[in-house]
A and B are shown apart, each in its own frame.
Chain A
């Protein structure tokens, strides 16, 4: 069967290692929806936070290099990781606005900067390009009764002019996407707060503090689980959850899903192909209770 849409794909470093279940489930969902996804060959790291933290020119050059590599593959560029998405979009904005920086980057990559290809987060592709109605029609196993805390984190919506995904203070795109599967998004306080991001390596104490507030808020709102669209958020909320519980003398037992894992369950991707066994907080008791596996 022919694909209804086609994209080039930039997975980012995490999706080939610590977030491999995000990669696996993304491919599963896109295949089920008949959306083509062709990985950009030989892509490089986008530089993430450490590069722009200390060296803007390096950060912009790495992103410009990746954008020019992406030009070799047909279709808008689909990005799964919120941090890669933010860096690539930021580079497009800065290099469009600033001629001096663009010339420096062109010298660094020894070629013209290519800024034409739209860079899109998976959420945008599913909600806008594919469409919420079509998504709802594709649901084979509704996630009825599952209360989901949709966690945006920082970079999907901020700063307001860069991601062009949704409103920076009151977004609804994640809620809309998960509601299309029949799940119930809960109203909660911490969906836009920072999880501590890459301090997980240098200063994990920061993560134990900030991510604790997020887990506590989701629990207070009566959520069964948290849904994320960023490997760093997932690492902090899932991988460090036990440590957070110990440090704060509390217990959450809150499964943290990538959005594509939940969507995959709904559109009929076999549970074995969603990387559920890679999650540190075991989601199976919850999914069994709700009759979803």
Chain B
């Protein structure tokens, strides 16, 4: 590979997808020059098959399908260390949000199902109750993920400490949240919102 050079161009890049990510995230993907500071500080890199800087590289090389199909985007903790340290002001944490949304909207080509399940149940709880109902969240997660014994010993302990609220009242203004959900859905149907 003597003297081999790699050129980024609109052909190698799939500019359409990159622009979509840039519009959703409000951050440049193209500005990254692969210094690797994001991955150096990423607490989750050991759990990812592609560390953060490689995710941006794959996007630059038009290989976005590999990114969406992998589990890395779902293993980002949103700790914001990458965005804080990037010398080129690439907001990687926002790019991760955009990629997750694209994967989520495409009905999850990723194999990482537990994180997506937890997210879905969390959002469902907001829609149903207005606030988080922690005990229900944990119980339904265990049932739906088939891990019936997960945190089996923790539950009773938290109950005796008063940390698990068994009964949870819906917000009395819950109608307002339902309307927010339905208005967003409507905007999306009309193509007025991503």
A interface residue numbers (CB < 8 A to B): 13-14, 16-20, 42-45, 47-58, 61-62, 65, 94, 98, 104, 107-110, 154-155, 158-160, 168-169, 193-194, 196-199, 201-204, 206, 209-210, 239, 243, 277-280
- Bound together, the chains give a CA A110 to CA B178 distance in angstroms of 12
- Supposing A42-B173, A44-B171, A159-B93 touch, asked if A168 and B123 sit within 8 A by C-beta, the answer is no
- Bound together, the chains give a CA A155 to CA B154 distance in angstroms of 26
B80 lies within 8 A of A155 (CB) = yes
B84 lies within 8 A of A158 (CB) = yes
- Supposing A13-B134, A239-B154 touch, asked if A98 and B80 sit within 8 A by C-beta, the answer is no
A198 lies within 8 A of B118 (CB) = yes
- Supposing A18-B134, A45-B126 touch, asked if A110 and B179 sit within 8 A by C-beta, the answer is yes
- Bound together, the chains give a CA A124 to CA B154 distance in angstroms of 34
Closest to B134 in A: A17
Closest to B150 in A: A204
Task: List 8 other contacts, CB 8 Å, given A107-B192, A108-B193.
Answer: A14-B132, A18-B163, A104-B193, A109-B180, A154-B80, A155-B79, A160-B84, A196-B77
Please choose the segment from B3-11, B55-63, B97-105 that sits at the chain A interface, where 4 or more of its residues have CB less than 8 A away.
B97-105
CB distance from A67 to the nearest CB of B (A): 13
Interface SS majority for chain A: helix
Please tell me which one of the listed residues A160, A193, A202, A206 contacts residue B118 in the complex, with CB atoms under 8 A apart: A202
- Bound together, the chains give a CA A65 to CA B158 distance in angstroms of 31
Please tell me which one of the listed residues A42, A108, A280 contacts residue B157 in the complex, with CB atoms under 8 A apart: A280
Contact mask B162-187 → A, CB, 8 Å, 1/0?
11110000011100110111011001
A58 lies within 8 A of B123 (CB) = yes
CB distance from A132 to the nearest CB of B (A): 26
Whether B131 sits at the interface, judged by CB under 8 Å, is yes
What residues on B are CB-neighbors of A278 within 8 Å?
161-163
CB distance from A70 to the nearest CB of B (A): 14
What residues on A are CB-neighbors of B132 within 8 Å?
13-14, 17, 45, 48
A56 lies within 8 A of B131 (CB) = no
What residues on A are CB-neighbors of B162 within 8 Å?
20, 278
What residues on B are CB-neighbors of A98 within 8 Å?
26
Scan residues 70-125 of chain B and give those whose CB is less than 8 A from a CB of chain A.
75, 77-81, 83-84, 91, 93, 97-98, 100-101, 104, 114-119, 122-123, 125
- Bound together, the chains give a CA A158 to CA B114 distance in angstroms of 26
CB distance from A220 to the nearest CB of B (A): 18
Interface SS majority for chain B: helix
Most buried by A among B78, B157, B172: B78
Whether B130 sits at the interface, judged by CB under 8 Å, is yes
Please tell me which one of the listed residues B81, B122, B164, B171 contacts residue A42 in the complex, with CB atoms under 8 A apart: B171
Please tell me which one of the listed residues A19, A108, A204, A277 contacts residue B180 in the complex, with CB atoms under 8 A apart: A108
What residues on A are CB-neighbors of B100 within 8 Å?
53-54
B78 lies within 8 A of A197 (CB) = yes
Contact mask B131-173 → A, CB, 8 Å, 1/0?
1101101100100000000110010011001111100000111
A48 lies within 8 A of B81 (CB) = no
- Bound together, the chains give a CA A209 to CA B98 distance in angstroms of 27
- Bound together, the chains give a CA A50 to CA B115 distance in angstroms of 9
What residues on A are CB-neighbors of B172 within 8 Å?
42
What residues on A are CB-neighbors of B91 within 8 Å?
159
A48 lies within 8 A of B83 (CB) = no
Most buried by B among A45, A154, A155, A280: A45
What residues on A are CB-neighbors of B179 within 8 Å?
110
What residues on B are CB-neighbors of A17 within 8 Å?
132, 134-135, 163-165
What residues on A are CB-neighbors of B117 within 8 Å?
202
B97 lies within 8 A of A56 (CB) = yes
What residues on B are CB-neighbors of A16 within 8 Å?
131, 165
- Bound together, the chains give a CA A56 to CA B84 distance in angstroms of 20
- Bound together, the chains give a CA A53 to CA B108 distance in angstroms of 13
- Bound together, the chains give a CA A61 to CA B165 distance in angstroms of 27
Whether B44 sits at the interface, judged by CB under 8 Å, is yes
B192 lies within 8 A of A104 (CB) = yes
- Supposing A54-B104, A154-B77, A278-B161 touch, asked if A203 and B123 sit within 8 A by C-beta, the answer is no
**Pairs A-B, 9 closest by C-beta atoms:** A13-B132, A158-B80, A50-B122, A202-B118, A154-B79, A50-B119, A194-B79, A194-B43, A54-B104
Closest to B96 in A: A53
CB distance from A267 to the nearest CB of B (A): 24
A280 lies within 8 A of B161 (CB) = yes
